[in-house]
């Protein structure tokens, strides 16, 4: 007498589903970490391209950033458009108009992909993910008597000073706007007593780290949980960056 095929019992089915759920639970974080790591590489490459464009712009227009009247009309992202191969967009910008004039405001939605993090939610609105504290003086300048222990090294000022960094969507501005969010002005100054300011200002796109482009062309990632004093000292040119990078 032939025996009938034995079917899968409910218990066996539940065991298989439990194993599959466990495997998915183990693999999902790895996949997410790999995705985040790839996005970090993309942002680092974007910042390097911006750095090259800034240096090429400086070589060609050494006094351009010192002209106040022009600075009011053209932000640094507009000025380097020819150096990131955005010639058509550069030609559309009316230099005789302010950035928010109707003739120029129409270009906000045409922001180059280079200026935004792929994880940002501000792409469609033309909000730039990258700011330049070196050119736009995002950080408060040191005042006489402040941080007297700090010894400013001219080498660090030139090569190890940050020239661009990524900000969170909350602090992102229209890419045509030459003025960064004014709240950034004193965030890194430890004298202001800010708590968790780095997470709010810089931790939106990459979780607990954010990228900074330096004058020598390299991009480093920094933790949003580090103390603001050593980071401020690094911005001021009084501290090496190596021991702060992740």
- DSSP result, 206-221: STTEEEEEETTS-EEE
Q: pLDDT per residue over 155-173, tens digit each?
A: 555 566 788 889 888 888 9
Whole-number pLDDT of residue 68: 45
Identify the CA nearest to 231 among candidates 217, 207, 210: 210
Q: Which residues contact 205 (CB under 8 A, 6 or more apart)?
A: 39, 43, 117, 119, 120, 129, 166, 168, 169
In a domain? residue 3: no
Domain limits at 147? 11-236
In a domain? residue 6: no
Q: Up-side HSE of residue 45: CA atoms within 13 Å toward CB? A: 9
Average pLDDT over residues 39-66: 80
In a domain? residue 1: no
42-46, 143-147, 159-163, 219-223: segment of lowest average pLDDT: 143-147
* Of residues 2 and 17, more confidently modeled: 17
Does the structure show a pLDDT above 90 at 30?
no
* Of residues 145 and 244, more confidently modeled: 244
Q: Up-side HSE of residue 79: CA atoms within 13 Å toward CB? A: 27
In a domain? residue 241: no
Domain count, the chain: 1
Q: Which residues contact 51 (CB under 8 A, 6 or more apart)?
A: 163, 164, 213, 217, 219
In a domain? residue 87: yes
In a domain? residue 5: no
Q: pLDDT per residue over 182-216, tens digit each?
A: 777 667 666 665 666 777 788 778 878 889 888 88
In a domain? residue 36: yes
Whole-number pLDDT of residue 93: 94
* Of residues 44 and 35, more confidently modeled: 44
Whole-number pLDDT of residue 134: 56
Q: pLDDT per residue over 81-138, tens digit each?
A: 999 999 999 999 998 888 999 999 999 999 999 999 988 888 889 999 998 865 544 4
Whole-number pLDDT of residue 27: 63
pTM, two decimals, is: 0.75
Return left, alpha or beta for 186; rule: phi > 0 is left, psi -120 to 50 is alpha, else beta.
Answer: alpha
In a domain? residue 91: yes
């Amino acid at each position: 007498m032939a025996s009938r095929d034995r079917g899968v019992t409910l218990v066996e089915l539940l065991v298989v589903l439990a194993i599959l759920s466990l495997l998915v639970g183990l693999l999902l974080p790895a996949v997410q970490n790999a995705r985040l790591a790839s996005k970090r590489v993309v942002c680092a490459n974007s910042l390097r391209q911006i750095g090259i464009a800034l240096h090429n712009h400086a070589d060609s227009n050494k006094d351009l950033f010192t002209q106040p009247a022009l600075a009011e009309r053209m932000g640094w992202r507009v000025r380097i458009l020819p150096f990131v191969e955005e010639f058509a967009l550069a030609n559309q910008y009316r230099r005789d108009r302010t950035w928010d004039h109707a003739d120029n405001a129409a270009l906000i939605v045409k922001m180059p992909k280079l200026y935004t993090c792929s994880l940002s939610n501000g792409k469609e609105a033309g909000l730039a993910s990258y700011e330049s504290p070196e050119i736009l003086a995002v950080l408060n300048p040191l005042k006489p008597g402040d941080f007297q222990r700090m010894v400013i090294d001219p080498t660090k000022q030139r090569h190890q000073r940050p020239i661009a960094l990524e900000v969170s969507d909350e602090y992102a501005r229209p890419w045509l706007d030459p003025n960064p969010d004014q709240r950034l002005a004193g965030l890194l100054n430890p004298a202001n007593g800010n708590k968790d300011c780095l997470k709010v200002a810089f931790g939106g796109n990459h979780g607990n780290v954010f990228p900074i482009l330096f004058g020598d062309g390299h991009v480093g990632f920094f933790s949003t949980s580090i103390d603001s004093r050593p980071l401020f000292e690094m911005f001021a040119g009084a501290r090496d960056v190596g021991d702060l990078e992740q």
